[in-house]
């Protein structure tokens, strides 16, 4: 799997957020998008995911050397971000059943295994709206970690996690690094210290 970014740029009104960003991201490698708040990290991540169009440049997804249509990008990726919502009207069991009717779980993992891996087994029949903010964040991360997607986008992945939750995140993300393209958008070293390449968006102003 590859993501090819060619001369990407994004501007709002007359101001360029970033420009001339080119990079090939490959499966089995991990990347951190770094920069101060408001520098455009999340904007770049959304463009790389196909959820936002660039003002200039091009994004290509290639799987087994074949180009993927932009409308199909979503089939290959997971995103975890503070602005991402989960369906709070579902119980945990209902949400996992729904999610894995659309995504393939990791091999040899059923919904009970996923609950155990997220330390949420006791909340099987609890409505998601009753979860604490930390439980919701573990849930969002688990839905991404335990699905068979080729690409994982993580925007401030430890939001609302306590020290135990952060340790769990660091442990679980390392298990999948060799299998995916992992892109972390963060200002906190403990969220991206495992990444192989650090990209400072300030270099593309």
The model's pLDDT over 75-95, given as tens digits with 9 standing for 90+, comes to: 999 999 998 899 999 999 999
Q: CA-CA distance, 126 to 169, in Å (whole number)? A: 22
What mean pLDDT do residues 15-34 have?
96
- Which residues, in sequence order, are CB contacts of 100 under 8 Å at separation 6+? 111, 114, 147
Q: CA-CA distance, 107 to 147, in Å (whole number)? A: 9
pLDDT recorded at residue 178: 93
The alpha helices in the chain, defined as continuous H runs, are 41-49, 92-102, 111-117, 133-145, 163-176, 189-192
Structure tokens that stand for 49 in this block: 């995911």
Any long-range contacts for 161-169 (C-beta under 8 Å, 24+ apart)? 161/134, 161/137, 162/134, 165/134, 165/137, 165/138, 166/190, 168/119, 168/138, 169/141
pLDDT recorded at residue 13: 87
What mean pLDDT do residues 154-181 have?
96
CATH number of 2-204: 3.40.50.300
Q: CA-CA distance, 148 to 155, in Å (whole number)? A: 19
Provide the mean pLDDT of the chain. 95
- % the chain with pLDDT above 70: 100
| pTM, two decimal places | 0.94
CA dihedral sign, ordered 79, 123, 161, 110: negative
The pLDDT of residue 200 is above 90? yes
Residue 187 phi, psi dihedral angles, 5° rounding: -115, 0
pLDDT recorded at residue 93: 97
The pLDDT of residue 65 is above 90? no
């Amino acid at each position: 799997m590859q993501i090819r970014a060619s001369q990407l740029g994004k501007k709002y009104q007359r101001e360029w957020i970033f420009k001339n960003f080119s990079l090939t991201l490959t499966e089995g490698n991990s990347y951190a998008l770094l920069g101060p708040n408001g520098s455009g990290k999340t904007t770049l991540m959304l463009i790389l995911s196909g959820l936002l169009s660039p003002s200039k440049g091009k994004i290509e997804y290639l799987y087994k050397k074949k180009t993927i249509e932009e409308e199909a990008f979503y089939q290959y990726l997971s995103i975890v971000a503070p602005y991402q919502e989960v369906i709070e009207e579902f119980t945990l069991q209902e949400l996992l059943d729904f999610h894995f009717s659309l995504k393939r779980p990791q091999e040899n993992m059923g919904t009970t295994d996923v609950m155990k891996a997220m330390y949420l087994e006791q909340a099987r029949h609890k409505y998601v709206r009753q979860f604490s903010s930390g439980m919701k964040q573990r849930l969002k991360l688990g839905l991404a970690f335990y699905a068979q997607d080729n690409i994982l986008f993580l925007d401030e992945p430890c939001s609302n996690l306590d020290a135990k939750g952060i340790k769990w995140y660091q442990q679980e993300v390392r298990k999948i690094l060799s299998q995916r393209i992992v892109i972390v958008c963060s200002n906190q070293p403990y969220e991206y210290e495992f990444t192989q390449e650090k990209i400072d968006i300030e270099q593309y102003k």
